[in-house]
Amino acid sequence: MNIIDNFIAPACEEFVRILYQDDVILLISKPAGLLSLSGKNPLNRDSVHSRLVQGQLGISPPFSQAKLPHRLDFGTSGIMVVGLTQQATSHLNKQFQAGTVQKRYTAILEGWVSADAGVITAAIAKDKSQFPRVKICSSTGKAASSEFSVLKRLTEPRRSLVQFTPVSGRTHQLRIHSFTMGHPILGCDLYHSASSQQLADRLLLHASDLYFEHPLTGERHHGYCVSPF
């Protein structure tokens, strides 16, 4: 039995907020500490998707046809796009698969990142010995790049408020790339230093922006969700 089988998500009392709605899509704000999709364990039924289709905890009315063309990790907060029709979901799925959806994230990292901006390029592979962790591996990993810019350097203790634009979309990409450059994201339970996990009571990673083609109009659409930190 692996760590995923043993994981029971704590109850999340925060609402899923609707940021934008029309006939074919929703833009929503996912709180940290909520699964995107329900788990196999009956105790992990609460999720973004289950709340959407059942109209629970602030979502009213139910969106019975709602589908998620992408996910955010359990600990990550921020913006998600939801398809409300089969055609819209298919259109969005193709955009994510083609890599034409641009995402931006805000994070707080341990320490002061010395460069004001840059690109982290390091191939990522599954770490079979420490699932669900991933690892940096140039021989077996898939190419991955993350652009970053430092928005602010904070003190007591030293931290960096950073904006990330992932060029690729690998599992745990921003978390492992931050850790690899010596500045783990605060609150991260998988990739951390001796102190970084204890410096925050949640993973300080937030999906702030989505740029995609609207499935109905074909126009470029920008969704934004303000960061809580």
**Catalytic hit among 5, 22, 73, 189:** 73
Cβ atoms of 78 and 44 closer than 8 Å:
no
The closest alpha carbon to 148, from 134, 172, 135, 166, belongs to 166
State yes or no: is 5 an active-site residue.
no
CA distance 76 to 50: 18
Q: What share of the chain is helix, strand, coil (3-state, %, to 5)?
A: 20, 35, 50
Q: What angle do CA 95, 98, 101 make, to 5 degrees?
A: 50
Residue 23's Cβ-count burial label (10 Å; 0-12, 13-18, 19+) is exposed
Sequence-separated (6 or more) residues with CB below 8 Å from residue 21: 27
d(CA 12, CA 46): 8
For residue 53, the SS3 value is helix
What's the CA gap between 32 and 149, in Å, rounded?
23
Query: Active-site residue numbers?
Result: 73
